Structure 1
Amino acid sequence: MRVITFNTQGIEQAADNGFFEWMVQQDADVVCLQDLRAKEYQLDDKRFHPEGYEAYFFDAFEDGYSGVAIYTRVIPKAIMTGLGFEQCDFNGRFIQADFDNVSVAAMSVPSGLKSDEAQAAKEEYLQLLKGHFTKTLRKRREFIFCGPFHIAHKPVDLSNWYVNQKVSGFLPQEREIMEAIFDEMGYVDAFRQVNHVDQQYTWWPDYNKARELNEGARLDYQITTANLRKTIKSASIYRDVAFSAHAPLIVDYDL
């Protein structure tokens, strides 16, 4: 089972840059997209609906803002949207597809880079999301959560980490959330389970040559429940073509 997650930063922009042509070539089973910046009714064009895939969307209430989608080759048993709190549901930040033995979710955490207020909203969101991860442990099925957390987990996940310790995305309180998810709750960072290479980033700042120089951060994740640990076979980041400032994260599972 191949799962791809990608923060589009605007699905129309990503399509213009050739994302969907690339996606079809990857033969993925499930593709999770975030930050669509468009509503479902605006995406009727066939280029947003590649042959062989069913598409499911969860729109943000505000026009031109956020939104998530799941593309899948197999029709899910159920689709769930939202997590029951305003910061998520109003902004279209969570959609989940339930299959026979596993659920796959496209989700996103807001960035805190713009202002102190944005950072406070991000930290509140993370606490609420942490509560959902806790409740998920009580469910009798496996889960794969896909999307940007806008947090680099460890120094290996961020270039120039030492000078960025007071910057949103690498703050101690943010990294504590990641530690709680992985260490205390037992969830698995699918990428790092099988790929231990340094300087593996999924996002680069919007300044000249950042991507070329590989000065970035690994902000995008596929996080699985513990029982899926041994099913993770390979993980990679595609960076040959810049569909957005983020790069697609590809993980293969033996499911």
Structure 2
Amino acid sequence: MKLYSWNINGLRGTAKKGLLEWMQATPLDLLCLQETKCAPTDLPDEILHPPGFKSCFATAEKKGYSGVATYCRQPPLACDTGLGIERFDREGRVLVSDHGDFLLYNVYFPNGKASPERLAYKLDFYAAFLDHINARVKEKPIIFCGDVNTAHRAVDLARPRENEKISGFLPEERAWLDRWTAHGWVDSFRHCNPEARDAYSWWSLRSGARERNVGWRIDYFFVHQSLLPRVKAAGISPEVMGADHCPVWLELHD
């Protein structure tokens, strides 16, 4: 089973750049998209129901903002949205699909750069999310993926020293990822590729950053430690264009 996650920064725009063709040509079973910026009612049938896929959506109250979607080759047993906390759920950031032997959380974590208030909101979201998955994993193993909006270690961005005081690499943000790992949540890419360098999933649209590979690794697949025996491989696909992020992926043993 192969799972992909991709912040596409607008589903309709990325569809015009070849997303649907890429989906059909790529051997994937599950695709989690973040920052879709639309509701299902906004979409034509070819995006809502691509051949061979079942889709589920979580939509923000604010039009054209946030949002996540999961496309599945095999229909999930169930789909649900949110964390059960209204201040977070109104932004359409969490979609949960049940695939029988695991739950998949597709999450667009908040960005903290806009203001101190949004940074506080982001850290509160991290805390609420950890509490939620720690409770839920007692029922069934969990995988969560998406745009986490934080680079965990210095190796996860091209210019760590220059960004020490920038949201996305602040000590208090990175500390939350430390808490996740301390609670048994494993960064699958780093687990499978411990020596990887210059491996990024997001590049600024300014100054040719992608061409120069001046990037950040802020998109992840985390698996609960109980699922580690099923992890076969994990990686990043920087060759796939269409957005300022690229897809990341996880491959599981059956």
Q: TM-score, normalised by structure 2?
A: 0.95
Letter in 2 for 1:24: Q
1:66 equivalent in alignment to 2:66: yes
Give secondary structure in 2 for the equivalent of 1:134.
helix
Give secondary structure in 2 for the equivalent of 1:31.
strand
Mapped partners of 1:105, 1:131: distance in 2: 14
Give secondary structure in 2 for the equivalent of 1:239.
coil
Instruction: Please name the residue that 1:195 is paired with.
Output: 193
* C-alpha contact (below 8 Å) 2:40/2:48 kept by paired residues: no
Q: Which runs of 4+ in 1 moved over 6 A?
A: none
Q: Is there any run of 5+ residues in structure 2 with no aligned partner, and where?
A: none
What is the Cα deviation at residue 159 of structure 1? 1.0
Instruction: Please name the residue that 2:217 is paired with.
Output: 218
1:246 equivalent in alignment to 2:248: no
Mapped partners of 1:162, 1:232: distance in 2: 33
In the TM superposition, 1:52-131 aligns within 5 A as 52-131=52-131
Give secondary structure in 2 for the equivalent of 1:212.
helix
Give secondary structure in 2 for the equivalent of 1:159.
coil
Letter in 1 for 2:228: R
Q: TM-score, normalised by structure 1?
A: 0.95
Letter in 2 for 1:186: G
In the TM superposition, 1:218-237 aligns within 5 A as 218-237=217-236
What is the Cα deviation at residue 222 of structure 1? 0.7
* C-alpha contact (below 8 Å) 1:193/1:229 kept by paired residues: no
What is the Cα deviation at residue 206 of structure 1? 2.0
Mapped partners of 1:87, 1:237: distance in 2: 32
Q: What do residues 63-120 of structure 1 show as CA deviations (whole Å, max 9, x unaligned)?
A: 1011111100111111111111123310111111112211112111111112222212
Give secondary structure in 2 for the equivalent of 1:65.
coil
* C-alpha contact (below 8 Å) 1:151/1:175 kept by paired residues: yes
Instruction: Please name the residue that 2:5 is paired with.
Output: 5
Larger displacement relative to structure 2 (214-223 or 81-90): 81-90
Give secondary structure in 2 for the equivalent of 1:9.
coil
What is the Cα deviation at residue 163 of structure 1? 1.8
Mapped partners of 2:47, 2:81: distance in 1: 24
Larger displacement relative to structure 2 (57-66 or 40-49): 40-49
Letter in 1 for 2:165: K
Number of residues of Structure 1 aligned to a counterpart in Structure 2:
253
Letter in 1 for 2:3: V
* C-alpha contact (below 8 Å) 1:20/1:48 kept by paired residues: no
Give secondary structure in 2 for the equivalent of 1:221.
strand
Mapped partners of 1:52, 1:93: distance in 2: 25
Letter in 2 for 1:185: H
What is the Cα deviation at residue 48 of structure 1? 4.2
Q: Is there any run of 5+ residues in structure 1 with no aligned partner, and where?
A: none
What is the Cα deviation at residue 37 of structure 1? 0.5
What is the Cα deviation at residue 55 of structure 1? 0.6
